[in-house]
Amino acid sequence: MFVGEPSTHFQHFVDPLIDPQIQDFISLMNPETDAVVDARTHPPPPQSQLVAQSEAQAPLRIPPHQDIHLNATEANTSITVLDFKMKNDKHPRVEGFLLMSSPVPQTIIIGAYIYFVTSLGPKLMENRKPFELRQIMAFYNFGVVALSVYMTYEFLMSGWATGYSFRCDLVDYSRSPTALRMVRTCWLYYFSKFIELLDTIFFVLRKKEGQITFLHVLHHSIMPWTWWFGVKFAAGGLGTFHALLNCVVHVIMYSYYGLCSLGPAYYKYLWWKKHMTTIQLQQKGGDIEHGSPTIQTSALTTGLKVITEVIAAPPPPLAASLRLRSRPESNF
């Protein structure tokens, strides 16, 4: 067990979040502490002095697998500071981004989506013929493929191929070009989830209500809503690994949907359809493996293994191709 003075614990707890606004707030709350210095009135000491101080003072080291116990005053102060920061931090890195000012607009959009695909839409289509949307759906599917390719590239170039370890990578909260590039990529991925709501709307307009399952609607609703908080407060780091894998899988998945939407003439090119579910499950396995604290190897290797097998697999016999041609199964 590691026990220290409240001000010492509090200093190390708050230092990563320090900004002038927080410093003023802490000083008012706890005037006796000398752990926080206002950076606006006290410029940083010279580098030589910092080196001397670091040599003279041993760093705070917490033994592994041991907890820090805070007393009541310290815990209440920490919670109050975090609450203050959540309410007053403007998060300038995403300021001005569409839908990022508040979670309310996206909640309204998602609520309207759920109401339309589960109630209003089916009622409107009840006495109407299904729409023929092949051309629109082909454009939409291949558009999502292009967007997913671009987002895959951006996730790689903003961290996953330029410095991330594929392990417990922390969020870079700086305003460096790479960190800001990751923020923009995270927002684009978040916004793409609203574009993908069209999947369900196409089901409704084509009277495919049997494919509008509870899990389908839940997935399309929860993804953008939860990613708003990720983009707002933690754009980057290990939390974006599942987005990278998801973009790779969407390149394959929406390519399949796009070919299906072109009509029966293209069904012969869908011999790899049987691997689709395996690829999606492998994505989830890669996410879980990467999120495990005991991970020893890169989850990306595991995630791409099935994709390699799909590319290398020979096409099925002619009979299987004929069966696929006679009864294609796709989300569209």
- Residues with active-site annotation: 219
Q: Which of 185, 178, 2, 203 is nearest to 117 (CA)?
A: 203
Phi-psi region of 177 (alpha: psi -120 to 50; beta: other; left: phi over 0): alpha
- 3-class SS letters over 222-251: HHHHHHHHHHHHCCCHHHHHHHHHHHHHHH
- Write out the two tokens for 1: 């067990």
Residue 292: its H or E element: none
Burial label, 50 (beta-carbon count in 10 A; 0-12, 13-18, 19+): exposed
Q: 233, exposed or middle or buried, with CB in 10 Å at 0-12, 13-18, 19+?
A: middle
In degrees and rounded to multiples of 5, residue 68 shows phi and psi of -95, 125
Residue of 258, 260, 323, 310 whose CA lies nearest to 280? 310
Burial of 331 (0-12, 13-18, 19+ CB in 10 A): middle
| Tokens of residue 226, six digits | 């939860």
* Residue count (the chain): 332
Dihedral of the alpha carbons of 26, 32, 33, 38, in degrees to the nearest 10: 60
